[in-house]
Chain A
Amino acid sequence: MRHFMGSVNLRQILMPIGQMAIFVTGAGLLCSAVMLVLALLFRGSGADQVLQATQGVGILTYTLNSLPQVLIDGVTIGFVYAAIALGYTMVYGVLQFINFAHSEIFAIGAFCGVESLIALNGLGVLAKASAMGSFLYLGLALVIGMAASGGMAVLVERVAYRPLRSSPTLIALISAIGVSFALQDIIRLVESMTSGQFYRVIPTFGNFDERITLFRIGSKIIDIQVKSVVVILAAVVMLVALNYLVGSTKVGKAIRAVSQDKNTAALMGINVNAMISLTFLVGGSLGGAAGVLYALKFTRIDPFVGFMPGIKAFAAAVLGGIGNLTGALLGGMVLGMIESFAGAYLGTYTMGSFGAEYKDMVAFLILILVIVFRPNGLLGEQVSQKA
């Protein structure tokens, strides 16, 4: 029996890694295939001729050449979306309610992480840090961001959602939107009072901006930024840990029990409020970590930094099937990938009339299409619960 338990636990760690590998390759291959078909269709078009004239390559070659880089970017942003989407989907799972303040929980994580790095930089320790040291400092910033976001998420639930638990979800939703605006302005207030400006830039330190060469195609080097590797690895570790927590531990099972039937869970001796707080803590921490990673990748953050990633992660959660943890992972990956492809190729293929700035439109159009045909999301529950 013991041995059996041991193997089950190992499976709980390997399975999500396998899932992630499948989702990443699946989404990547699908997008690449669509792109190559488009490239073939566009041969001889105006876009092709422009490329031949300016860069000396056909549209097919151009697409193929840039494909690896686009895939790497898609995976990186996909993991960030997945980490945020899990916060939405976990809360939805237990309360059937969308925590619209989650985007600001994310922003708080980003700001606290970046502020702690700025403080360390002020002390001069970042500049002197070795490669190993800089990873430790980043780890510290991640922990601070997670603690701040997790704590704030628990506080928000306690103050703004719990008193409304027995009211219609629409009321709690309004409260969430209110909290969202309030937190935005609190961040802005605190930041502008302390330094007179309300945006922050993450200090440059360590070797995060360096690029590691992955492989070469002819004379072309395919490389990946160290920080992208950090983002991907950190996200994978967190997602595996979350999967283990929810799937294999006693509290994880209790959270699932609460999400399915609160009264019965309470009758089994489970403290429902404690489990809901724990859900906000875990979801908030993931959002906070995503915030720090986002800041690392995109360097500049402002109080509204949470809005777009928040909306997209929410969309990713819906795309995957809201309430479903695996779905959030898949949704994040698909949305990240589509966005990356649209950002890279939209301008070239439309000869500049639709630039990369329309990538969000493309991503959301595809989202709408999927939802129309699969209203429960890609991995949403198809069977209703038995009474």
Chain B
Amino acid sequence: MSLLELKDVHSYYGNIHALMGVSLKVEEGEIVALIGANGAGKTTTLRSISGLLHPRSGSVTLEGKEIHHLPPHIVHHQGLGLVPEGRGVFPNLTVTENLEMGAYILDDKKQIEENLENAFTLFPRLKERAQQKGGTLSGGEQQMLATARGLMSNPKILLMDEPSMGLAPVLVDQIFDIIRELNARGTTILLVEQNALMALSIAHRGYVLQTGQIVLTDTGPNLKANDMVRKAYLGA
């Protein structure tokens, strides 16, 4: 049984058929990259998993349990962490408060404090800014905060939506190093990226999404070497 599995998911925005039968799997311990051009349906796929959008047909299962009909706050309770598109940092909450919101579903105060320490160890920069408002952080710091916040609830899988978006190249490298490290520590990751080259160089497996359909799937290195992918997404 896969940790996360999508079977023939069809999602709509009003009458617009955005996902036309997306099927994909994420096994425990993997980094899986979902790549594709703007408007291919990458974010829609994540919205369909996280409960912000309910698929009209098909199924989404987490550890074999169907989650596609659940509202987002319940989906989160099932063990799904999310680093949203555009980072979604709460601008008027402090860094610490943002992280506390990430642990909202936890009741054990000791556990929350432990996770907070872990987050600060992983991102020392956030500790320096602990009492600063989220909105005053730089783009890279906000991405760190969003990532750390996504981990605060000890999720079984972390969904990351375009973590490299809008960041300077040096920061992109840093973020991808962090993702690799998180994975080495045992976090399963589904990574949605426009930056296909970077995503495929750290992913175990990848899916290529085109106008709402998976057109190609293979291991990360194979996809990176694939002619079609190189032409369409790597500019080679």
Show the binding face of A for B, using Cβ within 8 Å: 1, 250, 253-254, 256-257, 260-261, 263-272, 383, 385-387
CB distance from B22 to the nearest CB of A (A): 20
Residues of A close to B101: CB separation below 8 A: 253-254, 257, 265, 268, 270
User: Closest approach, in angstroms, between the C-beta of B230 and any C-beta of chain A?
Assistant: 32
- Chain A residues within 8 Å of B71, by CB: 266, 271
Contacts A266-B72, A271-B73, A386-B135: A256 and B92 contacting too (C-beta < 8 A)?
yes
- 26 A-B pairs (CB sep. < 8 Å): A250-B100, A254-B101, A256-B90, A256-B93, A256-B97, A257-B93, A257-B101, A261-B90, A263-B72, A263-B84, A263-B88, A264-B88, A265-B90, A266-B51, A266-B52, A266-B71, A266-B73, A267-B76, A267-B88, A268-B76, A268-B102, A268-B104, A270-B101, A271-B73, A386-B91, A387-B86
Interface residues of A, dominant DSSP: helix
A386 contact set on B, CB distance < 8 A: 91, 135, 142
Give the number of A-B contacts (CB < 8 Å).
72
CA distance A385 to B88 in the complex (A): 11
Complexed CA–CA distance, A385 and B91 (Å): 7
Interface contact B91-A260, CB-CB below 8 Å: yes
Q: Which residue of A lies closest to B77 (CB)?
A: A269
Among all A-B residue pairs, the 7 with the closest Cβ atoms? A264-B88, A269-B76, A269-B105, A266-B72, A267-B82, A260-B90, A385-B91
Distance from B118 Cβ to chain A, minimum over Cβ atoms (Å)? 15
Distance between A103 CB and nearest chain B CB, rounded to angstroms: 28
Query: Within the complex, which residue of A253, A266, A267 is in contact with B100, where a contact is CB–CB below 8 Å?
Result: A253
Name the interface size band of chain B.
Answer: 20 to 34
Q: Is B188 an interface residue (CB 8 A)?
A: no
CB of B73 within 8 A of CB of A270, answer yes
B10: Cβ under 8 A from any A Cβ: no
Contacts of A272 in B (CB 8 A): 73
* Nearest opposing residue in chain A for B71, CB measure: A266
Instruction: Please name all residues of chain B whose beta carbon is closer than 8 Å to the beta carbon of A269 when the two chains form the complex.
Output: 73, 76-77, 104-105, 153
CA distance A267 to B155 in the complex (A): 12
